[in-house]
Amino acid sequence: MVAAVKDGFAHFDLAAMSKADGYKLLASVILPRPIAWVVSKDVAGVLNAAPFSFFNILSADPPMVAIGFSAAPDRDGKDTLGNIRAKGEFVVNLVPEELAQAMNVTATNAPRGTDETRLAGLELAACEEVDVPRIVASPVALECRLWQVIEPGGTSSIALAKVVRVHVRATAFEDLARLYVDPSQMRLIGRMHGGGGYCTTRDVFNIDRLSWPLAGKA
Ligand SMILES: Cc1cc2nc3c(=O)[nH]c(=O)nc-3n(C[C@H](O)[C@H](O)[C@H](O)COP(=O)(O)O)c2cc1C
């Protein structure tokens, strides 16, 4: 029995679970997750692309993102992390629905030195600050510089990086001057539970922010 079921909840002690089960549980309940489709370059100049959903923006001042890398003992760590450590720069592309299959192609554990951008037939465009290209068909690309890799003590590593340039397809803006983006124009996907679960960002609803004091409350 991995969980104690009480009061209608299954209660887990992650320390008492296998790492694989802990991963399975957390990745199944922290939903949806944005996907960083990372393009990086190795020291020989070969490009690499791979998706990472242990990803998010962590601060806006300075503008920073984080990516969590699990271990890849078969090849001494993920190629993306090796490239980021070696070169200190990379590009995060966000994934629209029409690129989901191509993204999946780049997630294969191709031998080190394989250019997955070619494997997936991706058109690339040069960036402005970093020596790594972005994916043209991705509506959003973030040029990133590595700030720090954190090794919290297990087998995972967390890369924290500063965002130095942002590219957004112009048609995604309702009003560019006001920075109003229409998310439906980007049709981004997110990561859901299980091995192959994804969601779209088309199911949107709005709630107005409230100010204090709350109407009708003490
Ligand atoms: C949608 C998706 C999300 C993924 N998220 C992560 C992640 O957050 N961390 C990770 O280590 N691997 C993740 N993976 C697996 C990597 O993409 C996979 O191991 C890939 O081969 C790594 O490539 P690389 O060695 O070229 O860096 C994910 C795979 C998919 C399909």
Assess if residue 207 is contained within a domain. no
- Whether 140 is in the pocket of ligand 1, judged by its Cβ within 6 Å, is no
Strand partners, 10: 5
Cβ–ligand 1 distance for 69 under 6 Å, the answer: yes
Mean pLDDT of 198-212: 95
- Which alpha helices (DSSP H) does the chain contain, by range? 19-29, 79-87, 100-105, 116-119, 183-186
Residues 94 and 191 sit within 8 Å (Cβ to Cβ): no
Q: What is the pLDDT of residues 91-138, one digit of tens each?
A: 999 999 999 999 999 999 999 999 999 999 999 999 999 999 999 999
Mean pLDDT of the region 82-95 = 98
pLDDT of 54 above 90: yes
Q: Where are the alpha helices (DSSP H) in 13-107?
A: 19-29, 79-87, 100-105
CA of 1 to the centre of ligand 1 (A): 30
Is 212 a member of any domain? no
Q: Which pLDDT belongs to residue 2?
A: 75
User: How confident is the model at residue 217, as a pLDDT?
Assistant: 76
| CA distance linking residue 57 with residue 73, whole number of Å | 28
Cβ of residue 92 lying under 6 Å from some atom of ligand 1: no
52 pLDDT exceeds 80? yes
Q: How far is the CA of 27 from the centre of ligand 1 (A)?
A: 13
| 76 domain residue, yes or no | yes
Q: What is the CA radius of gyration of the chain?
A: 19
- The pLDDT of 146-164, averaged and rounded, is 97
CB under 8 Å to 188, separation ≥6 — which residues?
34, 94, 95, 96, 97, 139, 140, 200, 201
Identify the three-state secondary structure at position 137.
Answer: coil
Task: Pick from 23, 76, 78 the residue to mutate for probing ligand 1's pocket: most ligand atoms within 8 Å of its CB.
Answer: 78
pLDDT score, position 66: 98
In a domain, 211, yes or no: no
* 67 CA: nearest ligand 1 atom: 8
User: 109 CB less than 6 Å from ligand 1?
Assistant: yes
* Residue 62 belongs to some domain of the structure: yes
Task: Pick the more confident residue, 194 or 111.
Answer: 111
CATH of the domain at 57: 2.30.110.10
* CA-closest residue to ligand 1 atom 18: 107
pTM (global) more than 0.75: yes
Residue 13 lies in a domain: no
Q: What is the mean pLDDT of the chain?
A: 96
218 pLDDT above the threshold of 80: no
Q: What phi, psi does 150 have (nearest 5°)?
A: -100, 135
Domain around 71: 33-200
Query: Cα–Cα distance between 189 and 34 in angstroms, integer?
Result: 7
Q: Is 51 within the bounds of a domain?
A: yes
Q: Is 54 in the pocket of ligand 1 (CB under 6 A)?
A: yes
Indicate the number of domains in the chain: 1
Asked whether residue 216 is domain-assigned, the answer is no
